[in-house]
Structure 1
């Protein structure tokens, strides 16, 4: 076994060495030509048509992803150590990434910005460009298995080009973030349960943690190494540096369960650098429409705290706070406290069983075309609200939310 493990390590380092040699060669012979420039001419709309035409061959994505990881770990078993022990969340995450890519291929520039951020985040997992090459090889094998006799080189080519475009952007993001810490070590300073399935965690990092109100961080518990989940920062930056996260348990055996049920004050977490575009920067004269579902309230609370601190004359805000039941208003003292301190803030709670959906409530309450909208919550809710706002004439550049591929959980 020791000899086998040694051989695997040698293969792993040989693969990384080949990757570094290839990267240096590219830089020597094509200086100043980053992958994002090569991808700027990518005709994503053409590949989108091909993939959508034959998408039923590989739907649902579950079996395709099972085949993909089976092929990758069979060919290169040393890559298994880059992944958490349980692969369930990883498979779900990859399915969301595939759907995001396919849905947005006709908008390569916007997609590349999200993927560069994703590539930067993957640095902390030890992912290198050589690993993406192994992933592409496994994807092609999984596509061949899934499509069966209807597999074509045209279909494989469209998926491969989509993947290579995504990888080019992710590699750019990783290389641009080389001067940034991989993660910050944090100690839990307080852990408070708010009901059976939700906890508020306050943490302090060993060094200053830079972020803007509305952003999120990838969080790793020492109880589940290599398993990172996105959670929004629920406070505006404070002089004492204490951070806050609102975590709802979404599944047994995962990071959310570890954080809600098994984490205590004094425990250690790791935080990735702050990410996300759900901020209120720019266009200070415009009023804000804030729409939250569940723990999607967390980043909007941070935004409101930030606005209250640096009050901008003439700017108002209207918050729609959507929950399934009244008992789900877990942070009500903070909501009412902000409403009392901020005469420019109006709050509309939306209880699903009594008022319909949050999107319905937003549509009923008037004209938002002059506002900047910030939307946070479960992806289906975010999609429904953004559709309503688009139909009401709010320009896309003034509807802010993190893409499904990166949305906090």
Structure 2
């Protein structure tokens, strides 16, 4: 047996032993920081403890760095599950922790989000027993950071928070056992639409079911264990191909590998599809689509779905759709032939390009003002795709214009200390 295999079976035995111990203790008195069977979890109480003493374990980025240092020192074989550069992974974990801290008084929301996360983490090769090692590393990191101020109360609050998320992740992974953890796919087309933008066609080797408006994480063979999210520009064709729009955002990353280092015949891997922009069965009200740059990929998929529905019900009046497409400069607009053809054959569609300026120069504000001036009414439905700051700006403008929050959908925004201004040292700075 390999050393890695021996390490995993050791972790598995420890995981099973800890699970048995918790079950036995839950019928007695000591629950080891976990609510006893039948008890509800008081997340608000743990939220108060963690928030009260957060400065004792901070800065936040150092807590996470210590966590990984402990994890890899105790279990060196786990290092192979992570990318060579840990900065993005550390920031990703910081966002997950911030999300849990901010939502700990709403544990059902954490459960829903982390079940999806567990399904998604299967592509990384993470197995349930390895979460036990992660829990132990976090507890040790909290103890190291708090020093003489460490307490059982603080330890158990962090442990319960982590276990809430981990339990949901394990359940999510178990529920997805019938689907692949990832899909291998071959690049069949690579079209440059500018010096730093490419549209890729990829053909999954197995059936890849997704809905219009969803996105997937993509891994390039050039950067193992490094995944980045990209929208899927359309429902699968009859031959199963999907389309990805990728803008290179800097050197050395997945986007550069896909834009400048990938061509037909190369292989990529796709994670499970997910996202909040699928239309579902709701066809009431006009549809307001707002995208920035490659967020257009999501809206291209949604528009194809709307067109398909309109063709399948020729006797019904198609819902009115307005698309606001924001970009830094007119030259950055792409895929215009497809968009022009769509607008010409679909009388229910109005396209409004909004170009000019960088985000620092108020470009997001200009886009938001254009959307608000279009006169959204309470019955409209809005879908937004793009950078988090753009989404926040447009969402606020729509709320000010009177569009109900439940009629505005976008994919989850990164969690962070935006609502916790007294805390410093976040990995998200």
Range into which the TM-score falls when normalised by the shorter chain: 0.7 to 0.9
1:63-82 alignment runs, 5 A limit: 63-82=62-81
- Looking at structure 1, the residues matched to 36 and 153 of structure 2 have their Cα atoms a distance apart, in angstroms, of 24
Deviation at 1:139, TM superposition (A): 1.7
1:53-132 alignment runs, 5 A limit: 53-58=52-57, 61-132=60-131
RMSD over aligned Cα atoms: 3.0
- Alpha-carbon deviations, 1:170-221, whole Å to 9, x = none? 1110010011112222110111122222211101122322111011112121
TM-score normalized by structure 2?
A: 0.83
- Looking at structure 1, the residues matched to 13 and 402 of structure 2 have their Cα atoms a distance apart, in angstroms, of 53
8 Å CA contact 1:82, 1:126 repeated in 2: yes
- In the alignment, structure 1 segments of 5+ residues that lack a partner are none
Instruction: Say which SS state the counterpart of residue 179 (structure 1) adopts.
Output: coil
- Looking at structure 1, the residues matched to 370 and 145 of structure 2 have their Cα atoms a distance apart, in angstroms, of 43
**Aligned twin of 1:342:** 346
Check if 1:328 corresponds to 2:328. Answer: no
Q: Mark the CA change 1:19 to 1:51 in structure 2 (over 3 Å): closer, same or farther.
A: closer
Deviation at 1:21, TM superposition (A): 7.0
Tell which deviates more after alignment, 17-26 or 117-126.
Answer: 17-26
Instruction: Say which SS state the counterpart of residue 193 (structure 1) adopts.
Output: strand
**Aligned twin of 2:413:** 404
Check if 1:378 corresponds to 2:387. Answer: yes
Instruction: Say which SS state the counterpart of residue 194 (structure 2) adopts.
Output: coil
1:3-402 alignment runs, 5 A limit: 6-7=2-3, 9-19=5-15, 41-58=40-57, 61-311=60-310, 313-353=317-357, 356-402=365-411
Deviation at 1:83, TM superposition (A): 1.0
Equivalent pairs, count: 398
- In the alignment, structure 2 segments of 5+ residues that lack a partner are 27-33, 416-429
- Alpha-carbon deviations, 1:322-360, whole Å to 9, x = none? 222222213333332222222111222222538634333
8 Å CA contact 1:100, 1:404 repeated in 2: no
- Alpha-carbon deviations, 1:142-186, whole Å to 9, x = none? 233334555444443332222111111111100100111122221
8 Å CA contact 2:286, 2:320 repeated in 1: yes
Q: Mark the CA change 1:208 to 1:38 in structure 2 (over 3 Å): closer, same or farther.
A: farther
Deviation at 1:267, TM superposition (A): 0.3
- Looking at structure 1, the residues matched to 200 and 301 of structure 2 have their Cα atoms a distance apart, in angstroms, of 15
